[in-house]
Amino acid sequence: MTSAARAEPAGRSVGQVETKRVVLFGQDNPLVLESGERLAPVEVAYETYGALNADATNAVYICHALTGDAHAAGHHGDPSRPGWWDNIIGPGRPIDTDKFFVICSNLLGGCQGTTGPSSIDPATGSPYGLRFPVFTVSDLATVHRALVHHLGISRLAAAVGGSVGGMQVLQWALDHPDDIHAAVMVCSTSKLTPQNIAFSAVAREAILRDPDFNGGDYYDTPNRPDTGLSLARMIAHITYLSEESMRQKFGRRIQDSAEPRRNFGVDFEVESYLQHQGESFLGRFDANSYLYLTRVMDYFDPFGGSATQVAERLRALRTRFLVMSFDTDWRFDTEHSRELVRILGAHRVPVTFQEIPSPWGHDSFLLVVPDYHRTVDTFMRRVHQEMVNGARTAPAPGEDVAA
């Protein structure tokens, strides 16, 4: 490991926290999806850190990545098992809970407390399975927005997300241009490439072809599609690591032996690692949720309309952006971020871009990479100062545009 991965986070943890749940859409006010379908009830699991100020102007929303959840920071009683982004959220950390009121929720369609395919369909009394309606990134943002309003907040100081989380941030800012003062998108994209879609397609096929998938109705059966889901996770995890990080972490070392066993079992350390990732995933994720959330990513293309439509959407945007990439990330490589910056900059949207050196590939956004944390910290300090000074909109178009 390099010093970047060994570095200790600044500040301190928020300590013990709890996950809360709230029903945001009921039978009398169902969630109307972009498709026109209606969904109710919709329950959302979320956590908050820090304190909301008197005029509710210091809120920051964290949008999680594909397999994340509401537990972004602190711990649930065991400090050795912190939230997935604990190293960047907390007192004195880049997303400083001494300054900001931080919110993180589990995604619609998820399986960690928010309504999804494993939830009970009130019409049948059984889990939805594949009868759960297909949804979009816009629908994810609609649910996030409902939670913000439930908490008494009309405009966010910032929305922050890595990977798929960044897609949610971008869509939210475009759909509701008055909602977000500043946005941070880390190793994200404005659309998936054919290669990205291909990896997800193979992962979904592993689930769909599992004999225990049972058309998505496996919840009341003795076996679940564990083989398919673990394979999907193994495939995805390869894309989260760089070749350099794999060399450093595993090399060609043999697992638990001085010499190769020369059979078809797990022999190399990297094989053992991927097998562990697949097996450990089974205890915390649902195969149907994996299908839905990866498909949501495939269809995401907020700039896919005509040039006139794109210009109209961006003309209304009132959000300052920080876009960041990592030089060894090949899942969403730097060109994804540069393309996004080019589109924003061409329409005079305030945007700052930074490529960060890191050997750890796509997973870098979850690690303590000092340059990355410093960049977020600097940006968030500025956001805080702008809110203290009474800012309610982004800077004038064209200010701080960097390509």
Q: pLDDT tens digits, residue range 154-191?
A: 999 999 999 999 999 999 999 999 999 999 999 999 99
Is 129's pLDDT higher than 80?
yes
Only one residue has tokens 């494993």, namely 118
Per residue in 248-268, is it b (16+ CB within 10 Å) or e — as a string?
A: ebbeeeebeeeeeeeeeebbe
| Cα 403 to Cα 392: distance, rounded to the nearest angstrom | 25
List the beta bridge partners of residue 119: none
Using only C-alpha atoms, the chain has a radius of gyration, in whole angstroms, of 21
- pTM comes to 0.93
pLDDT in tens, 37-73: 999 999 999 999 999 999 999 999 999 999 999 999 9
Distances (CA, A) of 266 to 212, 238, 247, 271: 24, 16, 18, 6
| Cα 403 to Cα 401: distance, rounded to the nearest angstrom | 7
Number of C-beta neighbours around residue 98 at 10 A: 12
**What value, to the nearest 5°, has the Cα angle with vertex 166 and ends 196 and 89?**
130
Of the residues 105, 118, 163, 190, only one is catalytic, namely 163
pLDDT in tens, 303-334: 998 899 999 999 999 999 999 999 999 999 99
**Residue 217, class by beta-carbon neighbours within 10 Å (0-12 exposed, 13-18 middle, 19+ buried)?**
middle
163 is catalytic: yes
Of the residues 64, 362, 373, 384, only one is catalytic, namely 362
Number of C-beta neighbours around residue 125 at 10 A: 7
Of the residues 69, 96, 329, 363, only one is catalytic, namely 329
Is 396's pLDDT higher than 70?
no
DSSP output for 18-65: --EEEEEE-TTS-EE-TTS-EE--EEEEEEEES---TTS--EEEEEP-
